[in-house]
Structure 1
């Protein structure tokens, strides 16, 4: 039994056709038949029978198909990691969505690089809608923030878009958050008592960071479900947007844990808009476990630990990243 034979059989089992497998492998159909014949002889099982223009797996064939897919996936992962071992040892290429990069990435990655010997990171902020394809193309090892969705994945019957698992990505939630509307204490909206209609906020300035209200986020999906398209003033960061709100210039959908102290002190006031607070999740997404790098899986697991959560939501100190050239790097904090 060889890896080549298992790869051939795994593809035949997946496609249900020797001809289709040969075309995808770029070999002749007789070459596929030869590899399968050797495998059948070695295992003493026919593995499949011809049926309706294709094949039907025997019980032994079904059992082998599961092992073959796993073995081929592990072999591909090993090959990739060995090829990158000399230049990429311990280095993680991370893509993050803008809100996570600003509010939590620095604390998470600083703690991670201190806890995991030899780990180092490069972080680039990208649009949430591009993340799935960037991971699948191995441009990055792991994504942090909004959960990737399959590009153009909405079904024709209007059902929800496919999610990461449908295309070989593994997404794990690691931090819950809430978005709420806030205004300065002296703003006219601060005097409104709930429930406040979303329509009452239209025509007022809305502020946001450079990503606006991301369609791939829970708050983006909530806003889309309301059937309104407010004019949102996008500033260079959510921190700058919050400064505009503090100055009484308008409102924003702020992260609840970021403004908690100011809500307690009364300098900011929550506007009780119907449907809020909006509960969301940040996710750590990698290629599926057969193809993800070991360091990416280590970070994915670490992000969900109690220590990581405590660091990301602790009050005070620097939370985000600092920019150097075209990349963002961990901003150390104390």
Structure 2
């Protein structure tokens, strides 16, 4: 039994066709048949039978299919780890959603790089909808913020995503005390907020986030004005220009001081979770696993909710970055 034979069988089992597997591998169909024949002889099981223009796995074939996929995945991961070990031993590529990057990434990663010798991280901000595919394409090692929406195992890559929740938050609708909505007493229907500008950061309010799902559930489609950061959006709200779904721990002091008013909107505050997501632990990097464990510690939580902003977002080309930590 060789890795090449297992790779061929795993592909045939997934595609259900020797011809399709041959095309995918870029070899002839007789070459696929030869690899499978050797495997069948070695294991003493037919593994599959011809059926309806394709194949049907035998019980032994079904048992082997799962093992073959895992073995091939581990081999690919080992090859990737070895090829990247020389130059990127401590480099960690992080993709994050904009709210997390703005409000928590700086303090979290400052602490992480102090605690983990040799760690060097770079953060790029992408939309919540892109996180799953970017992880499965290995463009990044770990995603922080919204939970990836990709399925747990894709038909194309067979790579699972492991998501770990690490920080609960709430978003409340806030306005300036002098804003017309600031004088309303509860309960306030979300429909009463239509016709007023809603401010948000560069990501807006994405459908796959808890805030986006809340808006969909109440059937409200407000006018969203995106600014370069949630800090700028909050400044516009503070100036009386509109309202905002703001992070509760960010605006708590201002609400207590009376410089902002929390509107008693039905269904708010909206609860949410930030997640740390990687490929499954046999296929991700050791440094990504280390950060995934670290984000749920008490020290990490204290750093993320502490007063004071991160180093901020920086636009490089079409993407936002957070400063490099090393």
What is the TM-score of this pair, normalised by structure 2?
A: 0.88
- For residue 27 of structure 2, give the secondary structure of its aligned residue in structure 1: coil
2:323 to 312, 324, 329: 329
2:309 to 287, 308, 318: 318
RMSD: 2.4
Q: Does 1:215 align with 2:199?
A: no
2:197 to 199, 205, 218: 205
Q: Does 1:299 align with 2:291?
A: yes
What is the aligned partner in structure 2 of residue 66 from structure 1? 66
* Structure 2, unpaired ranges of 5+: none
Cα contact 1:205–1:233 (8 A) shared by 2: yes
Question: Displacement, 1:321?
Answer: 3.7
Task: Give matches, 1:114-125, under 5 Å.
Answer: 114-125=114-125
- For residue 214 of structure 1, give the secondary structure of its aligned residue in structure 2: coil
Pair 111,254 (structure 1): closer, same or farther in 2 beyond 3 Å: same
Query: Separation in 2 of the partners of 1:257 and 1:331?
Result: 25
What is the TM-score of this pair, normalised by structure 1?
A: 0.86
Task: Give matches, 1:151-170, under 5 Å.
Answer: 163-167=150-154, 168-170=159-161
Pair 221,324 (structure 1): closer, same or farther in 2 beyond 3 Å: closer
Task: Give matches, 1:121-160, under 5 Å.
Answer: 121-149=121-149
Query: Separation in 2 of the partners of 1:53 and 1:237?
Result: 56
CA deviation map 1:8-34 (0-9, x unaligned): 111122222222222221212221222
Pair 324,115 (structure 1): closer, same or farther in 2 beyond 3 Å: farther
Q: Which moved more, 1:134-143 or 1:34-43?
A: 134-143
1:247 to 227, 239, 260: 239
Q: Which moved more, 1:191-200 or 1:130-139?
A: 130-139
Pair 248,290 (structure 1): closer, same or farther in 2 beyond 3 Å: same
Q: Does 1:224 align with 2:198?
A: no
- For residue 144 of structure 1, give the secondary structure of its aligned residue in structure 2: strand
What is the aligned partner in structure 2 of residue 152 from structure 1? none
What is the aligned partner in structure 1 of residue 270 from structure 2? 278
Question: Displacement, 1:121?
Answer: 0.5
Q: Which moved more, 1:74-83 or 1:296-305?
A: 296-305
Cα contact 1:321–1:331 (8 A) shared by 2: no
Task: Give matches, 1:21-40, under 5 Å.
Answer: 21-40=21-40
Query: Separation in 2 of the partners of 1:166 and 1:11?
Result: 15
Cα contact 1:123–1:329 (8 A) shared by 2: yes
